[in-house]
């Protein structure tokens, strides 16, 4: 079963059907849970789409001290037809750090044959305690099948001493007569000015193919990258994959902040 998703911060639109106190804020396309911000709203079939958001102004039951709300998703295809609708179960939870905000997230694994085009999704939040509702719309594009990087999993923050793992995969690689790829993958870490802070790390396929990989059965290669975080700062992580056979290039960039945890240990 194909599940669908929300994304595209730049394409965010408030749907004016509801006048209410509850709000949906800080909608952010990202690379998995607690992940770095994604810069675009274009996805290949087979990719993973993830979005986080905050629900503000929720009513709180005076007796139980619990919120109570329901979310509804409607996916609209390129022809304007609602092709998927899902209503969540009632969410009842106590905001134990105070306030009236609750975080939310949505994700989907796109089908490998997902049709290209411009899609949109409406997310509606219905506050059962406060008797309010709000809806927002996200617009995004699904690209035709092609060589690319998908399934990126990249935490937004890290700490010195951490072995940070960037997860990603290559799809639709060109194959030679021996059914082998010829791909060069380069990992670069840049500072805020765009200058490399260390030598680039490279991987080569087929040399670095996982054992027993057969790309004729599934043209998909997981190729996680390990980054040792040795100091604090704000960085830009860049991965460039070059397919020497198809003459195509794919790139992923995202911000990474490495924090000094001692700053948060004081009273």
The pLDDT tens digits of the residues spanning 176-225 come to 999 999 999 999 999 988 899 999 999 999 999 988 899 999 999 999 99
More confident residue, 252 or 121: 252
More confident residue, 10 or 92: 92
Q: In the chain, what percentage of residues exceed pLDDT 70?
A: 91
Task: For residue 171, tell me if it sits in a domain.
Answer: yes
Closest CA to 84 of 92, 75, 93, 95: 75
Structural domain that includes position 20: 9-142
Boundary (domain end) residue, out of 123, 142, 161: 142
Q: Which DSSP state fits 88? A: P
267 class by beta-carbon count within 10 Å (0-12 exposed, 13-18 middle, 19+ buried)? exposed
Backbone phi and psi for residue 261, each to the nearest 5 degrees, phi listed first: -65, -25
Boundary (domain end) residue, out of 107, 142, 177: 142
Q: Judge whether residue 248 has pLDDT over 90.
A: yes
Band of residue 11 on the pLDDT scale cut at 50, 70, 90: very low
Residue that is written with structure tokens 């990202």 in the block? 30
For residues 225 and 108, state if they share a domain.
no
> Is the preceding omega at residue 206 within 30 degrees of 0, hence cis?
yes
Q: Judge whether residue 8 has pLDDT over 60.
A: no
For residues 39 and 78, state if they share a domain.
yes
What CATH number has the domain bearing residue 185? 2.60.40.10
Is the distance from CB of 216 to CB of 178 less than 8 angstroms? no
Based on the structure, what is the number of domains in the chain? Answer: 2
For residues 154 and 179, state if they share a domain.
yes
Band of residue 107 on the pLDDT scale cut at 50, 70, 90: confident
SS (HEC) of 233-263 = EEEEEEEEEEECCCCEEEEEEEEEEECCHHH
Is the distance from CB of 27 to CB of 12 less than 8 angstroms? yes
Please give the span between the terminal C-alpha atoms of the chain, in angstroms, as a whole number.
Answer: 49
For residues 18 and 137, state if they share a domain.
yes
For residues 90 and 199, state if they share a domain.
no
Q: Judge whether residue 83 has pLDDT over 90.
A: no
Q: Judge whether residue 7 has pLDDT over 60.
A: no
- What is the predicted pLDDT for the residue at 19? 41
Non-local CB neighbours of 169 within 8 Å, separated by 6+ positions? 149, 150, 151, 220, 221, 222, 223
Band of residue 117 on the pLDDT scale cut at 50, 70, 90: very high
For residues 81 and 182, state if they share a domain.
no
For residues 32 and 120, state if they share a domain.
yes
What CATH number has the domain bearing residue 44? 2.60.40.3880
Task: For residue 3, tell me if it sits in a domain.
Answer: no
For residues 125 and 200, state if they share a domain.
no
- What is the predicted pLDDT for the residue at 266? 63
User: What pTM was computed for the model?
Assistant: 0.85
Band of residue 3 on the pLDDT scale cut at 50, 70, 90: very low
Band of residue 49 on the pLDDT scale cut at 50, 70, 90: confident
């Amino acid at each position: 079963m194909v599940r669908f998703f929300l994304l595209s911060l730049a394409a965010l639109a408030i749907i004016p059907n509801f006048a209410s106190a509850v709000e949906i804020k800080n909608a952010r396309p990202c690379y998995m849970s607690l992940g770095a911000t994604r810069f675009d709203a274009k996805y290949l079939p087979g990719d993973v789409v993830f979005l986080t958001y905050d629900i503000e102004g929720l009513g709180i039951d005076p007796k139980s001290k619990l919120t109570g709300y329901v979310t509804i998703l409607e996916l609209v295809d390129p022809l304007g037809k609602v092709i998927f609708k899902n209503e969540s179960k009632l969410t009842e939870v106590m905001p134990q750090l105070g306030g009236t905000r609750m975080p939310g997230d949505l994700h989907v694994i796109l089908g490998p044959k997902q049709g290209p085009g411009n899609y949109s999704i409406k997310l509606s939040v219905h506050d059962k305690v406060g008797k309010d509702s709000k809806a927002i719309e996200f617009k995004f594009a699904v690209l035709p099948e092609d060589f690319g990087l998908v399934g990126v999993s990249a935490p937004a923050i890290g700490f010195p001493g951490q072995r940070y793992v960037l997860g990603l995969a290559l799809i639709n690689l060109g194959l030679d007569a021996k059914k082998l790829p010829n791909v060069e993958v380069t990992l670069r870490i840049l500072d805020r000015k765009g200058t490399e802070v260390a030598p680039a790390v490279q991987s080569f396929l087929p040399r670095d193919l996982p054992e027993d990989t057969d790309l004729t059965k599934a043209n998909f290669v997981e190729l996680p990258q390990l980054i040792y975080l040795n100091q604090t700062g704000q960085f830009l992580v860049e991965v460039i994959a070059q397919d020497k056979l198809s003459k195509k290039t794919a790139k992923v960039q995202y911000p990474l902040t490495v924090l000094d945890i001692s700053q948060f240990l004081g009273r």
